[in-house]
């Protein structure tokens, strides 16, 4: 199964991210991520078996032990890839608690011999794939107000013709 570990967005923040995405759809073409799929990935595991998923759950428990809520503050928009075929994302401030949590999750995965995508951690919420972002102003956009995330989840990613569907497998509450 394809899996990843992510911070779930608190409800109000998630609603505001979805509103921002709707506003961007008017200015940008692309395949926008549905609101229920918005999250902040801490570690992408890729294909794992049942035993590795159980190890990832243990890593999640260890990484989150004693950790409190994580502050989320939007910092603006960014892209990965080419401007005519990009991944469009909402940047999240590199709050020390967030950066520490991501480092702890990755360290606990490594300690258990679990592979993950080792690209540098850049906190963001993916808004659209295959986006074509026009040059110039995108209009009047309302960015989410700061909030705190309290749930870290191991998700299964199920690829379907119309996009991915995410199924929570295991969740740890922070704080």
Residue 133 binned pLDDT confidence (cut-offs 50, 70, 90): confident
Please list the residues that pair with 132 across neighbouring strands: 29
The pLDDT, as a whole number, for residue 137 is 62
Q: What is the pLDDT of residue 111?
A: 98
State the residue for tokens 């961007």: 24
Is residue 141 scored above 80 in pLDDT? yes
What is the number of domains present in the chain?
1
Distance from C-alpha of 133 to C-alpha of 24, rounded to nearest angstrom: 9
Question: What is the CATH number for 23?
Answer: 3.90.1140.10
The string of pLDDT tens digits covering residues 5-52 is 999 999 999 999 999 999 898 888 889 999 999 999 999 999 999 999
pLDDT tens, position by position, 51-99:
999 999 999 999 999 999 999 999 999 888 876 778 999 999 999 999 9
Residue 129 tokens read as 């794939």
Residue 90: give the domain boundaries: 2-173
Give me the residue label for tokens 């102003």. 137
pLDDT at 163 over 90: no
């Amino acid at each position: 199964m394809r899996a990843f570990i992510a911070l779930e967005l608190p409800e109000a923040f998630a609603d505001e991210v979805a509103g921002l995405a709707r506003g961007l759809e008017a200015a940008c073409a692309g395949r926008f991520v549905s609101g229920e799929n918005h999250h902040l990935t801490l570690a992408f595991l890729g294909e794992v078996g049942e035993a590795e998923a159980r190890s990832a759950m243990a890593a999640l428990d260890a990484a989150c032990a004693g950790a409190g809520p994580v502050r989320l503050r939007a910092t603006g928009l960014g892209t990965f890839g080419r401007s005519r075929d990009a991944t469009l994302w909402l940047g999240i401030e590199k709050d020390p608690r967030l950066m520490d949590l991501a480092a702890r999750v990755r360290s606990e995965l490594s300690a258990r011999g679990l592979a993950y995508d080792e690209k540098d951690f850049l906190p963001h919420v993916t808004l659209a794939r295959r986006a074509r972002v026009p040059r110039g102003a995108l209009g009047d956009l309302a960015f989410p107000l700061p909030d705190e995330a309290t749930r870290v989840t191991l998700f299964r990613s199920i690829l379907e013709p119309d996009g991915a569907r995410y199924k929570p497998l295991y969740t740890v509450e922070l704080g």
